Structures are given as C-alpha cells and as structure tokens.
Structure 1
C-alpha cells in the first residue's frame, strides 16, 4: 500500500472514531432523535391514550421556560408537570389525535401527568381521554409528536400499541406515514392492522430497528470494539453470529415479558461491556491463548445484555399475539441489517489498517479511546454517577 493511501485510511478511521464519539455521551448530550410511546385502548367509540414522552423535549415543545425543561430532580419534574398540566395537555392533544368513523374525537387530559424512567431518561406519562361520536365505525390514530420543524430533534417515531375495535396490535407512526387505521375484528381477535397496511407497518419496525442500532452510540461502539479485535473473516463471522444469537434471545424474551431487568442495572452493564471487549483486544495482542479462549463467551454474555437494551427501546407491555411476534421479528431484522451494513463497511478498513505498523497503532489507540469513553458512560449511569462524572469531566461553559 502506498504511503498516501495508508495516510488516507488512517485519517478516515480517525474521522469515523471522532464522529462516533462526538455524537455519543448519552448522559450529557441529547440524541438526534427520539421515540414516543402510546398505549391506546377502548371497548367502544371512546378511547383512552397513555403517552410516554421524553420529559425535557415535552417541556421544550410546549414552549415552557428553561426552569421546566432543565429540571433534573424527579420531584421537581413532577411539580413542573403538575404546574404546567394545561400546556402539556394542549400540546399533546394537538399532536396526537384520534378519529372515529372519519370524525375527529374531542380529547381532554385525564389526571395530572406523571413521571417514569426509560433507560437513563425521564419520561412524562400523559393520560388522555377522547370522546368520539357514536356510530358503527373504526378508529384512526395520528401522531405528529416532536416534528422536525420544532428543531429540537428529528425523525421522531411514535410506537403505538392498541386494543380497539376488536383488534389489537402495534404500529410505528412517523412523519412520512403519521396515520394508522385500526381494522375491524372479532372481539378477542389479534387482527393488527387495516387491510393492505400489514407490510407497511412491519416495514416501520424494520426501519425502527435499524435506526436504533445506528443512532445508539453504545451499540455502535460495542460493534466497533468487536471489529477492532477481530482477526480474519472467520473471526468476524463467529463474533457477529455469537452477538446476534445472544441479543436476539434476550430481546424476544424481554419484549414479550418473560424476562425483566431494571434499566438501572442493564444500562451501566452495557457500558461496561464496551470497556471489557475493547480491553480484551488490548490484552489479546500479548496473550493470545488466554484472551482468545474467553472472547466468544464474553461476547455472548454481553450480547444478552444488549438484547435487554434493544427490548427497552420498543417499550412493549402487552400480552402475547402473533402481531406482537411479527413486530418484534421485524424490529430484529432491522437491527441485523444495520449490523451487517456496518460490518461490511468497517471491516475492510480495519483489515487494511492491521496490515501496516502505523495502522495497528491506530487500532490500539482507537480501542483504548473506546474503552475510556465507555468507562465514563459506566460511571455516569451508576446511581449519582452523573454528578461524579460532572465533577471529573465538566461539560459546558
């Protein structure tokens, strides 16, 4: 390889690492996108909706003062939600709409908004009741929560789980396709979507799965650490397969409620998994036999943890149905497609770099940097860890 080509590869890899790390730091910087969650239920025309929305985004989108959206203490956040309940209701009722038989339903806030935790983020819990005109019809659900033109985030998707009109199922609503028509069904059936829209909804879950992996800095760094430590195509295939099997198992079990682990435990351990895999690569260079023997079992164990993290992204809390299984499988397909694309893109670069002395040094430095960043995440995700990390690594002016 010529010196110019080698320099180009080194610059490219370093630029990629900087981009990944620069968009990371989940505890101190907001993700570029967000997911809203809606639980919709009703035995007749009237509908009840429970929305889970990121607290700080909701308060910004309702155009409240900084004292509201910058609050971090849960007790203070609850006080702000109660004090600004009218503004929260006005925003959510305009952005999440329900129609019945072609006519828009009148909505109102049902009680004081609450607070819950999803991963390392506070979510407001907003309960809404919609009074729909009588008659024989079906419901349509519409979401325009946190649109791009608010300039806070982009590409917001709303994951909807519903039991309406004798049907139950799930759908993903996005700016390109913000409306979902619920199908007719016999009481107790598991018909999930209107005729002709099944593939569109499953496609939404495929896209959501791919986005979750590509926009999740911890999952990206974990894959990068795996690729840096892989030696040869066989090693890449074994490592990727091990990780895929592990996270698929726990993802499906957790999403249907058979396995449950608190995010306060899962999230720090996911960060620790990145530290461990990157460190194994550094040790493997000096002690091949010992670290090689344990590498795949470690990848499998940490893959189980990442599966729990993937399941948390869907926020599913409903009983078993074939539609639920289809949605989960579609989401997992999206994860795997994104994972394959990353491996195909990055592995040839890593291979070329490993063949040169300078390139190998860059990979070692990249592994050390990945481990260091993940270690900071681990500390931040521990109880009171964010305050400790802020003392050591202050952020902002």
Structure 2
C-alpha cells in the first residue's frame, strides 16, 4: 500500500508542476461556477460552501504551498500550528478583501502565491542557511504568505461583483468551504507523505521533490508576471 500511495502522490505532484492547461496556471473559475456567480442573488449558503471547497481542492498553487509547509513536519502539533497560521492568514484577507473592496491586481497576487511555493521549496532545501547563513521565521512566513493566498481568493470573487444581499453569509460559506477543501486535501497529502517517509526513497528523493516544488512555483510566477505585462 505505501508503494502505491507513493506512486499516486508522485503522479499528483507531477501533474501539478507540469501545469497541463492554462486554467491550472490561471487558477481560474469553471464555466458553471462563473454562470452561477454572475447570476447569484440572495443567500446561497450551500452553493458557496461547495464552490469554496472545490476552489481549494483544485487550487494547485495553494496545494503546492501546503505540500511544502508540511513536508518535513513530523508532529501532529506542528502540522496543526502551521496550518492554523495559514488559515488565519487567508481567511482574514479573503473576508477583508471582498467586504472592504480592496482592489489588488490578480496577476501580481498570483505571482506572489507562486513565490510562496518557491520560498517553501527553497526553505526545505536549507537554501537560506546555505546561501545567506540566516533562517527566516517559518511560522511568520506561513502567516504572511497566507495573507496573500487569501487576497488571491478574494480577487476571484471580486471579478463577479457579488450583490450586497446575502454577501456576508455567502462569504462565510465560501470560507468554510475553503477550510473543508483544505482539510480534505491535507488528509490525502499527509497520508501520502507519511507512507512515503517509511520508505528508503524519502530522504533520497526529498531534495528532488523540493526542487520540483521550486520549479513549479517559478512556472506559476512566470505565467502570472507574463499575464501582468501583456494585460
């Protein structure tokens, strides 16, 4: 079973890093969701809950960052702490961004989200200590990047100019959905990584995996910065 989980997890990571379509890199919204958000009126708790969960589960940039965050965390307490820091960050700016109508360029925010993936891969490789003889506070870094991830979610919702009627409840539902999606993704990621840690290949390929993580982040950054320049 661990070998199968390892193979499956490597396939998932490979697909994430390869970026098989523009929609993956754009971290966009599918047509059905787009139509619903454009026509939405009033309180729609369950639909927004579902959209939030789906958005997180299919949000490759968020998932890659979480993979990097928990990659070398062995204690449940540490996983809970870092995930909580990330949750506080993205929940704060998601709600604040939409309710306060804080306008942020979506391309630049998504580029910073890509940078967060690069940062985590570089940090896991010990790059800060080797290159700069300095180690940033990892908890604060996760919180700060979580703030940017939240703005990334907020910009997606702001595109549709959601009506004021039922907005707060719908946003709360969306945010709860994001947390549900994050929890579901984390369960799978933790099972896969914990199974992999029992195999001799974990230490051998951990450097390669985090190098690929950095590469995926650089690809996301490049795509978003190109979009910013072109548009």
Equivalent of 1:354 in 197, 200, 203: 197
- 1:160 matched residue in structure 2: 38
CA contact (8 A) 2:128 2:134 kept: no
- 1:307 matched residue in structure 2: 150
Change (3 A) 1:381 1:375: same
- 1:267 matched residue in structure 2: 110
Change (3 A) 1:225 1:386: farther
CA contact (8 A) 2:104 2:155 kept: no
Equivalent of 1:205 in 39, 44, 48: 48
Q: Output the CA distance in 2 between the equivalents of 1:256 and 1:34.
A: 23
Deviation at 1:361?
2.6
CA contact (8 A) 1:242 1:300 kept: yes
Question: 1:265-304 maps to which residues of 2 (within 5 A)?
Answer: 265-283=108-126, 291=135, 294-304=137-147
Deviation at 1:30?
7.7
CA contact (8 A) 2:17 2:215 kept: no
Deviation at 1:229?
3.5
User: Does residue 368 of structure 1 match 2:211?
Assistant: yes
Report how many aligned residue pairs link the two structures.
227
Q: Whose strand fraction is larger, Structure 1's or Structure 2's? A: 1
Change (3 A) 1:279 1:260: same
Q: Deviations over 1:62-89 (max 9, x none)?
A: xxxxxxxxxxxxxxxxxxxxxxxxxxxx
- 1:186 matched residue in structure 2: none
Q: Output the CA distance in 1 between the equivalents of 2:228 and 2:171.
A: 33
Deviation at 1:354?
2.4
Deviation at 1:262?
1.7
Question: Normalising by structure 2, what TM-score?
Answer: 0.83
Q: Deviations over 1:144-193 (max 9, x none)?
A: xx7xxxxxxxx6642036xxxxxxxx44xxxxxxxxxxxxxxxxxxxx3x
Change (3 A) 1:320 1:158: closer
Question: 1:310-325 maps to which residues of 2 (within 5 A)?
Answer: 310-315=153-158, 317=161, 323-325=166-168
Q: Output the CA distance in 2 between the equivalents of 1:253 and 1:365.
A: 38
Question: Relative CO higher for 1 or 2, CA cutoff 8 Å, sep ≥ 6?
Answer: 2
Deviation at 1:208?
0.7
Change (3 A) 1:378 1:284: closer
Equivalent of 1:20 in 16, 20, 26: 16
- 2:4 matched residue in structure 1: 8
Equivalent of 2:225 in 371, 382, 392: 382
CA contact (8 A) 1:246 1:301 kept: yes
Question: Normalising by structure 1, what TM-score?
Answer: 0.51
- 1:233 matched residue in structure 2: 76
Structure number, greater radius of gyration = 1
Aligned-partner SS, 1:160: helix
Deviation at 1:385?
7.8
Deviation at 1:7?
3.4
- 1:70 matched residue in structure 2: none
Deviation at 1:286?
7.4
Deviation at 1:329?
0.3
CA contact (8 A) 1:24 1:217 kept: no
Kindly report the root-mean-square deviation, in angstroms, between the aligned alpha carbons of the 2 structures.
Answer: 3.1
Q: Output the CA distance in 2 between the equivalents of 1:205 and 1:290.
A: 42
